[in-house]
Structures are given as structure tokens and as C-alpha cells.
Amino acid sequence: MMPLAGPKQRYLIPLGLSLLLCALLYLTMGQAPIHADESFCCSAGNTYAAWFEHPFRGGIDLYWRPNHEHPPFGKIIGGIATQFAPDWPGGFDIVEALPVFRLQNLVYCFALSFIMYLWAEELSNRRFAVLAALLTFFLPRLYYYAHSGTLDYPLTVLTFVTCYVFWKGLRNPRTMILCSILLGLTLLTKVNGAFLLAFLGVWLLIAWRKELRRKLGYIVAFAAIPPAMFLAMWPWLWPHPVARTLGYFIWMKHHLAIPVYYLGHTYLNDSPWHYPFVITILTLPLVLLLAIGFYAFRARKTGVDAFLILNALFPIAVIAFLSPCKFDGVRLFLPCFPFITLIAAMGIYHFATSPLRMAAVACALAASVAFAVHEYRQYQECYLNEAVALGGWSPYFETESGVIGYPELAPWLKAHPQAKIHIGMATSDMHRKEFDYDYIILPSQLGAFKTNAWYYYLHKTPLVAIKEANGLQIVGIYSTRDDPK
């Protein structure tokens, strides 16, 4: 194992590498379409940030009720950024505000790249660390959400950084205080933080089982700080802290399930338990799947490997067995991907032991990126790996989920400013509300399709369509003028 560099030199490489990846993210940020959730997050974040100007004038519900089904931290940073943007003519504009709101992801991108490098270097050496950091941009779905203003990317990065600090804190109990603060921020970002607290809490008790009495104070602080931060830093809870906290977790337990199209079948509220496992595998490029397989069967394991593997599996298992929310592809268990990245990097590093093997891996990674860009362009949320796409299995899965804004549709929309347009998937025979409109914008969220939506999708020719290279349609604009009234 290569000795680590000096204190100052050690951080030069991850600093430069992280800034480079942030620059790439910044240059491509505007390419991402608008996700439905980020429009809500952006609007709420702007409202939350406005409250800080006059926090003692009351009106907590007025400012903090919007989008209160999720905690505020993942929205506040972006909301503060929008406060520094120039005033928008005619008031707050989501489309204009989103590019500013998304800039917060540069902070998370830097943190993910930097910590990924440090952790990988501690496990092996600099070359392995550079590889691991670069691979965070080789997972198309993770790459996509790094461009989106949803809560999933902040949650993913906070989870990974928290676990790194936790691993360090097992040997240095004082570091565990920092870990508990990071856990608090994770819990303040999304409810998934509660599961992470439970998982790390069990691991901590097992790891310190022989020193429980001596380290009891650290254990109590670890358990108490995150929920205390959750209550203290979410103003919406303040008027009725007990009732609203309990109500929040009860509501999350019965969260509305969204229909999903999976293996050629629409599931309404009963997506099978294996959905998140299968979707994870199918959205990993083949080169990384092969690297993980090589790691599993050939690489020598260490104590930290079990920690990484369980952290990769845990978010998926929570969705599979404890949550009704088995939909939206990998978004709801995105925190597994940095750990998958690190495991794949281990496999590549153990395989590429000669110049010939290194060249083969470089070519495979380049081909993987070329495939993703050619097939999906900026719509990496739709990504399914080479085996699925080239094997003709793509039509058996959801083509797209949750995106409502598409740059390619802008010219047509500007050319039809007076048109009555319906945006959505759930057009039905019973209500036939689409006939109140001149046009329908139909995203290919197939699980939400009713009878008429399938009719448009399968039998009508769209006026404008965005398609993947394999011909699958992501979104289409249809005329209703020739439909029977």
C-alpha cells in the first residue's frame, strides 16, 4: 500500500479533481430537463429563504407550509441562492429561478468527489482514489440527478459523507460528534435519514460493544443530536412540535404510491419487492457490473468492505421491504450509488494490473460513456444499460418518470402561445378532460397511462416528439382536434 502524502500535498489532487468535476457539472447544468419535484423544491426553497429576512414577525405556516412533506435543508441552500438572483419581471419565475437553485449541487458534487478520493486513498493509493472519484461521473443516473434540483442528490452526498465520518469516528470517538451533526442534516434533507440513523446506530453498538460504559456519552450524543436538530431547525414543526412530528412520520409511512410500468406490466400500489434490485442492476453500465462481479469473486476483502457493501444494499432494501414507494426508477434509493461506485472501482483496480488490462478498461469506460450519450443525450434519467437497450428489453420498463420540462419543446410552445394545452399522463375515457384542450403533452411515464393515453402513445403521430436513439419516445405533443367529441 502506497504511503499517504504529506498533510498539504494530500489534498491538492482531490481539490483539483473535485473542482474539475464541478466545472463539468456547471457547464452541463442547463442541459437537464425540469423534473416535477424540483419545481416544488425551488418554489418552497425561495419561500423558506424569504422567511429569514423577518423571522420574528410570525407567519411560520405561511412561509414553511409549502412542500412540508419533506424537511427543509435540501431546499434552503438553493433558496438562499435564488434570493441573490436579480428580481424577475412579473414576480418569481420557476423556469428562470431553477438554474440558480441548481447551483447548490456544485457544493454537493465537490463534497462527493473530495470524500470519495480521501476514502479511496485510505483504502489503497492515489491512482485508485482518482479512479473512484472519476467513476462518480460514469453512472448515468447519478450523473443526471447531480444536475437536478431534487432532494435526492443532496441526500445521496450527505449519506456518503456521513458514513465516511462515521467510519473515521469508530476509531476516534470525538469525530462521532461531527458524524451525528451530519446525520442531523441528512435527516433534515429527507426522511431516509431516519433509516440511516438506525443503521449506523446498530453498527455503532456492535463496534463498541466492549466499551459501551466508557463511550456511553458519545453514544447518547450520537442518538440525541440528529432528532434534536430535526426539531430545532425545521420551523414548520415549532407551532405543534409533537403533533406535527408524529403526523409527519405517520404520513410518510402511508405515502401515496405512484403507478409504475415494470416488466411490461402496470403496478398500481403493489410493485414487487424485487423492483429496486432489478432496476439498480439494469441502470448500471455493463463495465461497472463486470467490475463489481470481479470484485465479488476475485478481490481480497477487508473489514471496510462489509461496511461499503451493506451501505450499498441498505437503501435498496429499505425501499424493497419497508416502503410503499417502489417507483421512479432509482431516485428513491440513490444513496446506494456512491458505495456501488467505490466497490466497482475496487474491482477495476484489482483487474487492471497490467498495461494491456488498463487499456481494455479505459476503452470499455469510453464505450460506455459513448453509448449513454448517444442513446439518451441529456435524458440520462431514462438510462438502461447496454444489455437492456441492445437486447430490445427497453419497452418493458418505464421510459421516463417525473420530468415536466423539455428544452426541445420550447420552440413549439413559443410558436403556439394561445394554445390550450394539457400536460399529463392520466387521460381517461371516463373524464375525457383532454378534449377541453387543443393539445396534449404526453410524457412517457407509462405506469400512469390510462386508456386514452395508451391510444395516443401507440396509435397517433405526435406533432413534436423527443425520442431516444433506439426509437423509444420520451415525450410527445399530440393534437386533440381530430378526436371524437
- pLDDT per residue as tens digits for the range 444-454: 989 888 878 88
Q: How many C-beta atoms lie closer than 10 Å to residue 82's C-beta?
A: 24
Tell if the pTM clears 0.85, that is, is over it.
yes
Can you give the pLDDT at residue 106?
97
Average pLDDT over every residue of 435-464: 87
Cell of 318: 429499505
Can you give the pLDDT at residue 469?
87
- pLDDT per residue as tens digits for the range 327-376: 889 999 999 999 999 999 999 998 999 999 999 999 999 999 999 999 99
Higher pLDDT, 408 or 224: 224
Among 355, 75, 116, which Cα is nearest to 236's? Answer: 75
What residues form DSSP beta bridges with 403?
Answer: 35
Tell me what percent of the residues of the chain surpass a pLDDT of 90: 65
Can you give the pLDDT at residue 102?
95
- pLDDT per residue as tens digits for the range 199-231: 999 999 999 999 999 999 999 999 999 999 999
What one-character-per-residue DSSP string does 240-257 give? SHHHHHHHHHHHHHTPPP
Task: Answer yes or no: are the C-beta atoms of 67 and 43 closer than 8 Å.
Answer: yes
Can you give the pLDDT at residue 485?
46
Can you give the pLDDT at residue 292?
95
Task: Answer yes or no: are the C-beta atoms of 75 and 151 closer than 8 Å.
Answer: yes
- pLDDT per residue as tens digits for the range 50-96: 898 888 776 899 899 999 989 999 999 999 988 877 766 666 777 78
Q: Does 2 have pLDDT greater than 50?
A: no
- pLDDT per residue as tens digits for the range 238-294: 999 999 999 888 887 777 778 899 999 999 878 899 999 999 999 999 999 999 999
- pLDDT per residue as tens digits for the range 357-366: 999 999 999 9
Among 1, 18, 24, which Cα is nearest to 118's? Answer: 18
Average pLDDT over every residue of 298-317: 86
Look over the chain and give the mean of its residue pLDDT values, rounded to a whole number.
Answer: 89
Average pLDDT over every residue of 474-484: 80
**How sure is the predictor about 431, in pLDDT bands with cuts at 50, 70 and 90?**
very low
Can you give the pLDDT at residue 428?
47
**How sure is the predictor about 426, in pLDDT bands with cuts at 50, 70 and 90?**
low
